[in-house]
A and B are shown apart, each in its own frame.
Chain A
């Protein structure tokens, strides 16, 4: 219980700091503070006065900020300067696309990285291990945008086996319900879901692979390290001396103990993962938040940048804190010295 309280306080305080930062951006960005904050360009002085009063911009900064936070909580995030649409709606469409892509990449990384890492750990300091180790080192060192471009060049342009843009062929008019394209396709009744699902999987391959490659590599290295550490521990030697089968030792003793320290490291990976997803999005024209922010930067859409930064930061922090909390709950032994290891 105490842990829960501690984590919620941490969460709320971090968000407050972020909100303050995003509020400050309205003043730091060039141009009119009112426009940066609301996204509405007043047509005349009367309207301007009304908006200033509404947003309490004539009050001291603290009151302005409090009103700002209140507005954020109510879902009134302002309007895009360029498209004039409510930013909340735009982010509600873009953010799930990014989360979706990151989720698939993370799953791929887990389902490939952990077994390969275990295998390398069990075979530690053999030729197999060195091969896996160096391969993962190499793929970990590639910049993600370069990998993505190479994939596009080989698989889209040369071989023509995978499309290079979007989430699903535009011929499918997939209604946006959950924001996750695969789920939306299953829910849709105006299209041939079977065709659309296959089409969407085709679109997913390259962006997922580009992000997953790097995450898999780091997952392999983390797992391998952890398995090697566990192998050295006395209870493995004890289990061996008791004559347990290798299989039993692996599943009952090595795997469980090796996976525990991986979780907190995964929390750190989330940030890298989402950042990579945002970069890859722009290359694959994936309609996610990264792509959206790049457009906003190019079009100097300051209200969008302000809220976009806040939204991305909130998502990253929520995931990190949640994983950390989860980790603390299942493994109470790691108490004090790792506090706040975000």
Chain B
């Protein structure tokens, strides 16, 4: 033992001497950005998942889309499609594609050709076309496209030539371009897909991703880290991008903040509302803020009696005091939600009706609906922090207290995030505290995925509520390009929702991002996931 130890110390001493060059050390620690993220991505393909964890880890790092949102104006701007044309009847979209866009070259795949029309067709067919061999891979669910009904509305995707693609719709859809610019409409490599298929391992496409984005995938260890390296041949130019990008998966927000303070993380996901003051008071940290396109709500499982009765749902909504929930859970970093839409959306209706706090009326309604005192229900509280609900468990406890005042017992249920969402999709809940972050500013992005009939199988309709009139109204809103007309339709939708109350909107939260001052180029992307292209680090 003695000699072994001496050997070790000698070695350590040598190492210390060898590694003491300060400039070299600084250069090394500047070479990579560490981002403390909140959870594990489901896989590395945002087409298959609407969770923002997956989108954050993949959408803007590994991939590009045909179109992008301008982060300031919300306008659709070119990306892989350098220009586009919409036919007069609004049914045919023609995209001119960028040339010389390189795919990632990694240890597991070497592309032989740049991006072209085949990749666009494959990427869209993956979620659109049941007969595509890749459609059933990784579960065969494409919740974003299913919940918005986009897949059903595409008649054909056609190749005009190597760099021109035509998409033909069945019905007019004024939100179609916006949907192609969301985090989920990423472009995959058709060549890689063929290669995997020929080797009989198609499922690898979502776990060993190949894209055109500014970073390429290196490795992933669940509950620990995701590693990305710079994509040297990035078509926008790789100079401004960091050499390495690492996601340090840290579920607890207090630990994320601690790591931000010690410098183990350069930026963190979802700073907790209670901790914002600490970040503001620290000189070396920056907190940026933007009103978010999101809504936190309490959804009832309308498939389960007695929650299929609108008057029971109304009674429960009347039994809670939203303002107290806002103060106790969001700490003034959110505004009260009356409808699904936040004020940042153009279709926001400022005079919409809202439920007040009236426990006496609530008990009366419950009695009329035949709900005995002592009735027990479950509230599912999501286990992760989200801007739209930073502490669902605490909110559930508050609601538990409010409901016990009207003689209703509440059991609070929570699981880890993956299991939680699987059980929600199976409809095992009575009610759930969850929310939605929109992927674009279009109101359809709130109304359709959250409450339309088509969104039940894909799992984004947490209330499992299906109403023909509602679906007709939101379809009608898409048939017109006239914003005033659309706004009027959404006002009607709001009234319908106020009468039916499949869910109780609670809050629209601000979006925060916290990072160390030595990160240059960090911006909040109001339309979806975090982006690290163009972000650099100095010491």
Residues on A facing B (Cβ under 8 Å): 82-83, 85, 107, 152, 156-157, 160, 163-166, 169-171, 173, 186, 192-195, 197-198, 201, 285, 287, 295, 298-300
| Nearest B-chain residue to A160, judged by Cβ | B262
Q: Which of B224, B246, B262 contacts A287 (CB 8 A)?
A: B224
Majority SS at the chain A contact face? loop
B419 touches A170 (CB 8 A): no
Q: How far is A186 from B262 in the complex, measured between Cα atoms in Å?
A: 26
A300 and B19 contacting across the interface, CB-CB below 8 Å: no
Q: Is the CB of A197 within 8 A of B12?
A: yes
**What are the residues of chain B within 8 A of A107 when measuring CB–CB?**
5
Query: CB-CB < 8 A to A170: which residues of B?
Result: 32, 34, 225, 227, 246, 248
State A106–B315 Cα separation when bound (angstroms).
62
Besides A157-B261, A164-B258, A165-B255, 9 other CB < 8 A contacts? A107-B5, A164-B255, A165-B248, A165-B250, A170-B227, A193-B15, A194-B17, A195-B19, A198-B15
Interface membership of B25, Cβ < 8 A: yes
> Does B31 sit within 8 A of A, measured CB to CB?
yes
* Chain B residues whose C-beta falls within 8 Å of the C-beta of A194 in the assembled complex: 15-20
| 4 nearest A-B pairs in the assembled complex, by CB-CB distance | A194-B19, A194-B18, A197-B15, A299-B416
Docked pose: A195 CA to B22 CA in angstroms:
10
In the complex, the answer to whether A198 meets B218 with C-beta atoms within 8 Å is no
Interface size class of chain B, counting residues whose CB lies under 8 Å from the partner chain? 35 or more
Cα–Cα distance between A82 and B15 once the two chains are bound (Å): 40
Instruction: Write out the residue numbers on chain A whose beta carbons fall within 8 Å of the beta carbon of B418.
Output: 82, 299
How far apart sit A164 and B31, CA to CA, in the bound complex (Å)? 21
Q: Is the CB of A192 within 8 A of B28?
A: yes
Q: Smallest distance from the beta carbon of A219 to chain B beta carbons, Å?
A: 16
B415 interface residue, CB < 8 Å from A?
Answer: yes
Contact of A169 among B17, B219, B264 (CB under 8 A): B264
A166 touches B419 (CB 8 A): no
Tell me, in angstroms, the Cα distance from A164 to B15 when the chains sit together: 22
Decide if B29 is an interface residue (CB 8 Å cutoff).
yes
B250 touches A285 (CB 8 A): yes
Q: A173-B218, A192-B28 are in contact. Are A299 and B419 (CB under 8 A)?
A: yes
> Is B262 within 8 A of A157, CB to CB?
yes
Residue of A with least CB distance to B257: A157
Nearest-CB distance from A31 to chain B (Å)? 12
Distance of A295 Cα from B248 Cα, bound (Å): 16
> B259–A164 contact, CB under 8 A?
yes
Is there an interface contact between A164 and B264, defined as CB atoms closer than 8 Å?
yes
Given A171-B244, A171-B246: A201 touches B12 (CB 8 Å cut-off): yes
Most buried by A among B15, B17, B246, B416: B15
Instruction: State whether the Cβ of B199 lies closer than 8 Å to any Cβ in chain A.
Output: no
Contact of B223 with A by CB under 8 A: yes
Q: Does B344 contact A (CB under 8 A)?
A: no
A97 vs B219: C-alpha distance when bound (angstroms): 19
Give the distance in Å from the alpha carbon of A198 to the alpha carbon of B20 in the complex. Answer: 9
User: Which among B32, B225, B264, B415 has the greatest number of chain A C-beta atoms within 10 A?
Assistant: B264
